[in-house]
Amino acid sequence: MRYLIELSGESATLAIAESLAVAHSSRDTPGYESDGRALVLNSDISSEELVSRLALAWSVSQHLFSCDIGELDSMIGGLELPGETFRVRTSRLGEQHPPGNGTALARHVGEILSARYKVDLEKPDVEIRILMSERIHVGMLNGEIDRSSLEARKPENRPFKHPISLHPKLARTLVNLTGIRPNQTIFDPFCGTGGIILEAGIMGCRVLGGDMDARMVAGTMQNLEHFGIEGDIRQADVSIWPESHEPVDAIATDPPYGRSASTAKEPIESLYARAFGACHWMLKDGGKLAIALPGEKHITLAKDFELEGMYPVRVHKSLTRYFCVFSKLPAPKVAGVCCQGWKFTIISCMPDLSKPDDFDLI
Ligand SMILES: C[S@@+](CC[C@H](N)C(=O)[O-])C[C@H]1O[C@@H](n2cnc3c(N)ncnc32)[C@H](O)[C@@H]1O
């Protein structure tokens, strides 16, 4: 199916990345086109799943055609609609293009179609959606994203509240960036108040979460219960997990940034290095890690991961969040033995051959 998605305005690149990840599609797929906040893509996913999962979008339609304004009348004149009644809605996405206003365009298109179909503004068989950007994109509406339910789950509307929480639309975006499907398991090792796993649970994923702070663990459980979601939530330092749990399908997380959320005084570079190590162990081969980082420089700490995309979102003048998607690289096959005095350690990573003096035996 070829879809026409009306993206919301928070961050165009992040919104496109979210839609592509949910649709399991890519920029290289034939039919892909992005024009400001209008996105056309091919996917085998059902329209119901797209509509129920996307966070950074307004609507999903079946794409009919895209054209320049001068070609619109003849394209509309040739449309065959599956039904007898219709209505037309327009959204102007571009600032300057095309000229004219949306209401006038909807009326004009309605007049052309009414030669063959009946107008029904209340309950039409078909709603024609026209997105006005650099070009004109026309689709038949599949559904609108339920933005009000995202608002209803905002941190202040949950029983356990804390200012460190992400807005549900960003929490949901992180989950979606991993490409996880319903019934797969997703893990958040820094779950805080549970915002990320709550969104994943609502999307039908199995959820696993941890936090070193017992108050956060109790609060997450309270929040999940409030929304009828079951999850496996434990009080645990991020490094403990590989010893106690099977690998998971995906990881989505929002670690402390060294500001308001506690790190128990650990420098964030050290915490992130431990976290990336633990996430590598915890992810199944081919699994994805979506993580919000407070700076580009932290990306280099992600050893044995490949960076697939990075999407900066400004929060305020001293904080930009970098939404990053990493895929797990296979564990290195070479093992080494490190010997210092009488202490032997088996290491499962490639020895750093640039420092051979560190090793008595390689
Ligand atoms: C930014 S908050 C997560 C917010 C969460 N996304 C939400 O929506 O509420 C980061 C969390 O990491 C936890 N944390 C800090 N250091 C940790 C560690 N070493 N292991 C596990 N959790 C840790 C903190 O207690 C805090 O709750």
Determine which of 2-16, 218-232, 337-351 has the lowest per-residue pLDDT on average: 337-351
Contacts 24+ apart (CB under 8 A), 341-346: none
The angle at the Cα of 348, spanning 346 to 351, to the nearest 5 degrees, equals 90
User: Counting atoms of ligand 1 from 1, which one is nearest the CA of 213?
Assistant: 25
Q: What is the C-alpha separation between 232 and 161, in angstroms, rounded?
A: 20
Whether the CB of 196 sits within 6 Å of ligand 1 = yes
Nearest-CA residue for atom 20 of ligand 1: 237
Whether the CB of 213 sits within 6 Å of ligand 1 = yes
- 34-70 pLDDT per residue, tens: 999 999 999 999 999 999 999 999 999 999 999 999 9
As a whole number of Å, the CA-based R_g of the chain is: 24
Whether the CB of 209 sits within 6 Å of ligand 1 = no
Q: What is the C-alpha separation between 66 and 78, in angstroms, rounded?
A: 13
- In this prediction, residue 321 has a pLDDT band, given cuts at 50, 70 and 90, of very high
Whether the CB of 241 sits within 6 Å of ligand 1 = no
Q: What confidence score (pLDDT) does residue 28 get?
A: 85
Average pLDDT along the chain:
90
Going from the C-alpha of 70 to that of each of 75, 136, 145, 338, the distances in angstroms are 10, 10, 31, 71
Q: What is the C-alpha separation between 18 and 24, in angstroms, rounded?
A: 10
Kindly state the tokens that stand for 68: 């320049």
Nearest-CA residue for atom 16 of ligand 1: 263
35 CA to middle of ligand 1, Å? Answer: 37
Whether the CB of 160 sits within 6 Å of ligand 1 = no
200 CA to middle of ligand 1, Å? Answer: 17
Average pLDDT for 286-302:
96
Nearest-CA residue for atom 15 of ligand 1: 263
Q: What is the C-alpha separation between 258 and 267, in angstroms, rounded?
A: 7
- In this prediction, residue 269 has a pLDDT band, given cuts at 50, 70 and 90, of very high
- 187-241 pLDDT per residue, tens: 999 999 999 999 999 999 999 999 999 999 999 999 999 999 999 999 999 999 8
- 160-170 pLDDT per residue, tens: 999 889 999 99
Whether the CB of 263 sits within 6 Å of ligand 1 = yes
Q: What are phi and psi for residue 53, nearest 5 degrees?
A: -100, -35
> SS3 of 172, please?
helix
Whether the CB of 193 sits within 6 Å of ligand 1 = yes
Q: What is the C-alpha separation between 313 and 73, in angstroms, rounded?
A: 39
Whether the CB of 235 sits within 6 Å of ligand 1 = no
Average pLDDT for 265-269:
90
332 CA to middle of ligand 1, Å? Answer: 29
> SS3 of 176, please?
helix
Whether the CB of 212 sits within 6 Å of ligand 1 = yes
Whether the CB of 290 sits within 6 Å of ligand 1 = no
Kindly state the tokens that stand for 249: 């399908």
Whether the CB of 49 sits within 6 Å of ligand 1 = no
Domains of the chain: 2-145 (3.30.2130.30), 149-328 (3.40.50.150), 333-362 (no CATH)
Predicted TM-score (pTM) of this structure: 0.90
- 112-151 pLDDT per residue, tens: 999 999 999 999 999 999 999 999 999 999 999 999 999 9
Q: Is the pLDDT of residue 354 over 70?
A: no
Whether the CB of 199 sits within 6 Å of ligand 1 = no
210 CA to middle of ligand 1, Å? Answer: 8
Q: At what angle do helices 195-202 and 214-226 cross, to 10 degrees?
A: 30
Kindly state the tokens that stand for 265: 């005084």
